[in-house]
Amino acid sequence: MLATIQYNSRKLQIDLTKPLDISIAIQSGEANVNAWYIGNPEIEPVVIEEEDWVGSVVKGSAVNFNTIVFNPHAHGTHTECAGHITETVHSINKNLKQFFFLAEVISVAPEKLGDDFVISKKQIQFALGNKKRDAVIIRTMPNLKDKLTKRYSKTNPTYLLEEAAVYLREKGIKHLLIDLPSVDKERDEGKLLAHNAFWNTKGKLRLDATITEFIYVPNKVKDGEYMLNLQIASFENDAAPSKPVLYKIIE
């Protein structure tokens, strides 16, 4: 099923039958990806003791009826808005109002900086060149499948330098997606330099800009131009679980 999307002066065709899902699903237990020093997500049947009822078909119920306990920032692919770092807790659900964007997938091998691995402005500048995009999707190299289950707490993961976030903002990128638990350093004394720079907290706050973390871009997805469908769950919160899906553009 082909769909035609008008983007500025271009008419772009995508095949809706060939989605490329770059999200990480939330699952119960230790096999789930994890960060920020908290426990595992839990997906468990509801137990109502006074009714002698368990929400599990296997245990005799007519339905499966689970309660899910998780943190969107720590347990899977999520999309956040500036409310993540502002005193006013702006809602991602109220501020993300469009869901299709022209995106560029880039692969970056992080650079060593002291004891850290970082993504610099120069690397992103080289990968993007003069391309005009709404969204940038960063795949860090090497791209191993352990990203789907890795426990990141106390590992000092790769992060974005402030200069890289400033560059993306100045280039007009509205949506930044990355396969890491954060665009910022794990322990940075609360500075959150990349978050602040991307959302422009010292100037006009970019409430229509988003950061999506904990994605996974399979190796079969080549670098280049895609149509991005950025889907979020309807939570009135600074962040929500999300399902970014790419569609190859048919020339």
pTM listed for this prediction? 0.96
State mean pLDDT over 20-49.
Answer: 97
State mean pLDDT over 8-30.
Answer: 95
Percent of the chain whose predicted confidence (pLDDT) is above 70: 100
Please write the tens of the pLDDT for every residue from 72-117.
999 999 999 999 999 999 999 999 999 999 999 999 999 999 999 9
Report DSSP state, residue 110. P
> In whole angstroms, how large is the CA radius of gyration of the chain?
19
Q: Are 131 and 104 in contact (CB under 8 A)?
A: yes
> Is it the case that residue 246 has pLDDT exceeding 80?
yes
**Which residues of the chain does CATH 3.50.30.50 include?**
19-25+72-250
Distance CA 92, CA 80 (A): 6
Q: How many CA atoms lie within 13 A of 166 on its CB side?
A: 9
State mean pLDDT over 154-158.
Answer: 98
> Is it the case that residue 7 has pLDDT exceeding 90?
no
Q: Dump the DSSP string for 18-53.
A: --EE------SSTTS-B-TT----EEEE-EEGGGTE
pLDDT at 8: 84
Please write the tens of the pLDDT for every residue from 201-220.
999 999 999 999 999 999 99
pLDDT band at 65 (very low <50, low <70, confident <90, very high): very high
What's the mean pLDDT when you consider all of the chain? 97
Tokens of 188: 């940075």
**What ranges make up the beta strands (E) of the chain?**
2-7, 10-15, 20-21, 42-45, 47-48, 53-54, 66-69, 78-80, 100-108, 111-113, 116-119, 135-140, 159-160, 175-178, 210-213, 224-232, 239-250
Distance CA 114, CA 55 (A): 52
Instruction: Determine whether domain 19-25+72-250 maps to CATH 3.50.30.50.
Output: yes
Count other Cβ atoms within 10 Å, centred on residue 12: 19
pLDDT at 226: 98
Q: pLDDT higher for 64 or 8?
A: 64
pLDDT band at 1 (very low <50, low <70, confident <90, very high): confident
pLDDT at 82: 98
